[in-house]
Amino acid sequence: MDEVILEVKELHKYYDLSKENVVRALQGINLQIKKGEFTAIIGPSGSGKSTLMHIMGALDTATKGQVWLDREEISKEKISGLYKIRGRKIGFIFQGYNLIPTLTALENVMLAVEYSGRKNNAKKEATEILTDVGLGKRLNHKPNELSGGEQQRVAVARALVNKPAIILADEPTGELDTQTSMEIITLLKDLNKKENQTFVLVTHNPEIAKTCRRIIKLRDGKIES
Amino acid sequence: MKIIRNIFRRKIRGALTIFGIAIGIFALVVMGSLAEKLNKLVQGGLEYYGTRITVQDAKSGMSFFGGTPLSISKIDEIKKIEGVKNAYASVEMLKEDDISGVSFGVPDSIGGYDPDQMKDDPSAAMLTIATGRDIQKNDIRKAVLGSDMPKKLNAKVGGTIKLKGKDFEVVGVYDKTFSAPDNSISINLPDAQELYLNTLPAAFRSSVKKEDIATSISVLVKDGFDPNEITKQINEKVKDVKALAPDEFKKQIASSVAIFNLIIYAVGLIALIVGSFSIINTMIMSVTERIREIGIKKAIGASNFRILREFVLEAAVMGLLGGLMGLLLGWGTVRIINAITASSGQIIFLTTPRLAIGSVAFSTFLGAFAGLYPAWYASRLNPIQALRSE
């Protein structure tokens, strides 16, 4: 139960906008996420939440420091090789659902299986997981034929389908009304409980943050508490 | 299926791009069919004429028909050369003295041969009888028609045709060869000599003996002898003649055909290159519209190569669809024109399988190539920035 799934050591990220203007987005972040944890990262805009999530999600590289995911040091990888880690070990849920508009719900989820390199049972696995999130009857609908809540469920299914080490959710309820937001959070918490799936939520919604067992507060690129 | 859906996200744009390629391929198929028909004609002619040494009068140009007559007595001199299997005379002339007006391909011709001598000639095996019979030794004023001739002359076996003012009975029709013999009429040698004599200027006529006329002498070489060597010997030992070796003959023809092919294909190619620019344009627009999508794909694990492949494939499919459409249009057009001109006995176009497959394969390749830059650009996008784009 107490296995560390994600560890961040002395993480720094600087953006050189010009010679005199260096933005220090992250300044020495240290953080451990254990398997099965449900964590929220909160903080005002500009606090470095998104930058931290991008680096933990292998979308970006750090200027200094280490990131370990599932006992593998991903901060050693070159940016061009990070796609493998994203495909196999990380699931993303975005604020704007970010589904491919021309693909059906099923195809959107299958795409994640294909990109992970395991093609064998893409259709079966995608169907199962969509049924689990309550979309068994909407498999062949395209995003524009689904409600916001349904689209976000597809995104959840897509993040989940490869059984990643960690799921990173960036403002997952940002575009949903209060009731639908709570439904999505409930869904995530169910998955967390049933599958022991690790979640990290980035949010600035205190209501959402309150439902999480652990809250990490970020301010000016540093962990406040 | 996913690729097709992507292409037709913007239906009109996708269709227009494909149509642009289709026009290019259409031009290539139509022009190519013209070239292929010509090549086939020439190829058939090469097989027909290219298996033997052709001996003509020394003053004659590089012409198959007419030219200055040659004396049949040269045959005996040629036969004395070692390695010569047989040599026989033929009289060949154009059916019409004056060919005016535009005509494609080989003009209609009359050929007079000695049927007994022809039995030895391997090239004669190319000509097989479709209906009726072939020319025989003692035939007088009988004719066998090349396969395109019955339509042109409105004649059939048993009917009568006029050649240089004389009546000939049609006794047979040859099978189609898709080459020069389709437009020729075979008659017996003495008949041809008579017709030829009448075409000569009156003053010249009295000094020529009818039985002595030949326009060319065909020389067949024994197995194991080099035709080029024998050609050299004929040129050295027999006076007033010019012998052309099969190789030389082929070379001359091949170089003039090559230039013609080059011009014809260049026209089609230019049309296609213009079409491929529209693919580049469409793909660049398509990438710009889908930047966010590319970001999503990268975030969920697509490699740069995977993104590159998706876009290149999409461009290749556009090329393929355009190619198929162009082929269909071109092939249809060619068939319609052929059907119209067939009534006058002329087939202008020939769409060969290699042309069809080649042009579709080429447009697919061109599509992929045109998609390379936009795809490369897409594959290099930073996923975070791509995800932020609207």
Q: What is the pLDDT of residues A142-200, one digit of tens each?
A: 999 999 999 999 999 999 999 999 999 998 888 888 899 989 999 999 999 998 999 99
Q: Are B305 and B372 in contact (CB under 8 A)?
A: no
Average pLDDT over residues A63-79: 90
A57 interface with B at CB cutoff 8 Å: yes
A4 interface with B at CB cutoff 8 Å: no
Kindly identify which residue of chain B lies nearest to residue A161, measuring between CA atoms: B300
Average pLDDT over residues A126-154: 93
Kindly identify which residue of chain A lies nearest to residue B1, measuring between CA atoms: A103
Confidence of residue A86 (pLDDT cuts 50, 70, 90): very high
What was the ipTM of the complex prediction? 0.92
> What's the sign of the alpha-carbon dihedral B232, B233, B234, B237?
positive
Mean pLDDT of chain A: 90
Closest CA to A95 of A35, A141, A53: A53
- Domains of chain A, by residue range, sit at 37-61+77-223
- Which of A83, A98, A103 is closest, CB to CB, to B301? A83
At A65 the pLDDT is: 93
At B180 the pLDDT is: 73
Closest CA to B379 of B326, B316, B311: B311
3-class state of residue A4 by DSSP: strand
How does A50-70 read in b/e, with b if 16+ C-beta sit within 10 Å?
Answer: bbbbbbbbbbbbbeebebbbb
Confidence of residue A66 (pLDDT cuts 50, 70, 90): very high
Kindly identify which residue of chain B lies nearest to residue A98, measuring between CA atoms: B296
Show the CA angle centred on residue B206, arms to residues B201 and B210, nearest 5°: 95
Residue with tokens 């000599």: B193
User: Across-strand partners of A7?
Assistant: A32, A68
How does B41-59 read in b/e, with b if 16+ C-beta sit within 10 Å?
Answer: bbbbbbbbbbbbbbbbbee
- Which of B2, B5, B301 is closest, CB to CB, to A87? B301
3-class state of residue A42 by DSSP: strand
At B86 the pLDDT is: 86
C-alpha A24: how far from chain center: 23
Residue numbers of B between 6 and 25 with CB closer than 8 Å to A:
6, 9
At B51 the pLDDT is: 65
Closest CA to A200 of A166, A158, A157: A166
Residues on chain A touching B292 (C-beta within 8 angstroms): 98
At A7 the pLDDT is: 94
Interface test with B, best of A49, A89, A100, A114 (most B CBs within 10 A): A100
For residue B357, the one-letter residue type is I
Average pLDDT over residues A67-75: 92
Residues on chain B touching A56 (C-beta within 8 angstroms): none
For residue A137, the one-letter residue type is K
Cβ distance B6 to A102 less than 8 Å, yes or no, reads: yes
Residues of chain B with pLDDT under 70: 45-51, 60-68, 98-106, 120, 122-126, 249, 344-345
Average pLDDT over residues A214-225: 89
Lowest mean pLDDT among A95-104, A110-119, B50-59, B236-245: B50-59
User: Across-strand partners of B192?
Assistant: none
Cα→Cα distances B62→A50, B65, B243, B249, Å: 83, 9, 11, 9
At B99 the pLDDT is: 56
Which tokens belong to B100? 């005016």
At B218 the pLDDT is: 85
Q: Are A140 and A105 in contact (CB under 8 A)?
A: yes
For residue A201, which phi and psi values (nearest 5 degrees)?
-105, 135
Residues on chain B touching A86 (C-beta within 8 angstroms): 298-301
At B64 the pLDDT is: 47
Shortest Cα–Cα distance, B297 to chain A (Å): 8
Closest CA to A9 of A73, A94, A96, A58: A73
Pick the CATH number of A37-61+77-223 from 3.90.1300.10, 3.40.630.10, 3.40.50.300, 3.60.20.10: 3.40.50.300
d(CA A64, CA A87): 24
Residue numbers of A between 22 and 51 with CB closer than 8 Å to B:
none
Cβ distance A92 to B292 less than 8 Å, yes or no, reads: no
Cβ-based contacts under 8 A for chains A and B = 57
For residue A25, the one-letter residue type is A
